[in-house]
Structure 1
């Protein structure tokens, strides 16, 4: 991704987090966000943002601090679990929504997979 690739402003990014489509001028940014280096970490972070108000509300509940902290921790663990579990489907949906192939992968990962297949084919001919 070059420095000239437009990035979403904070309002656009929040919309993107909640599922809005970014303008066509940001397709390269979206491609890198969903398939580039550290895409998994970005997905987890992006997936946790919508839950932040819920975590804050749990902290405002009456009761002992440890109990409120436990509520937040449980909610965070559940949010992490579902964010990770639905990552492939969410990624494919976001890619398709922006006009990119739903099965688009990281170029480095594709290169490694092709290399691995070639090695396997060489070791195990038909």
Structure 2
């Protein structure tokens, strides 16, 4: 439940502060970020599928293609802003601005994305 709260932008308790830093600075931070976006979008995609298949005469493959396209577009638009969004998340958890980029650079990884 806490992870879902975190996915939807909630602040975790202070005990999870270091985990949030790890989440935003690990080598796989962009993949973690993309998975959170997918998890956040999944209920909306299911709801849209149900509405579009039950209330419209659209064929199922067209609905699935449209939903896949919307998911890919939302992933593209949010991943291009991943650096800034990760910094906002870290700031929300009490870290000074720029912490994520600095930690990623210090660990030898790319400090920014892409």
Q: Unaligned 5+ residue runs, structure 1?
A: 1-10, 114-126
Q: Distance in 1 between matches of 2:88 and 2:4?
A: 17
The two structures have a TM-score, normalised by structure 2, of 0.79
Higher mean C-alpha deviation, range 102-111 or range 68-77 = 102-111
1:74 aligns with: 69
Query: How many angstroms does 1:49 deviate by?
Result: 1.6
Q: Greater relative contact order: 1 or 2 (C-alpha under 8 angstroms, separation 6 or more)?
A: 2
Looking at structure 2, the residues matched to 20 and 58 of structure 1 have their Cα atoms a distance apart, in angstroms, of 24
Q: Assess, with a 3 A threshold, how the Cα gap between structure 1 residues 112 and 35 changes in structure 2: closer, same or farther.
A: closer
Q: Which runs of 4+ in 1 moved over 6 A?
A: none
Assess if the C-alpha contact under 8 Å between 2:25 and 2:104 holds in 1.
no
**CA RMSD across the alignment:** 1.9
Post-superposition shift, 1:58? 2.8
The two structures have a TM-score, normalised by structure 1, of 0.73
Q: Which residue of 2 aligns with 1:116?
A: none
Match of 1:109 in 2: 105
Q: 1:7 maps to what in 2?
A: none
Please tell me whether Structure 1 or Structure 2 has the larger radius of gyration of its CA atoms. 1
Residues 44-68 of structure 1 deviation map (CA, whole Å, 9 limit, x = unaligned): 1112222112211232213212111
The runs of 5 or more residues in structure 2 that have no matched partner are 110-114
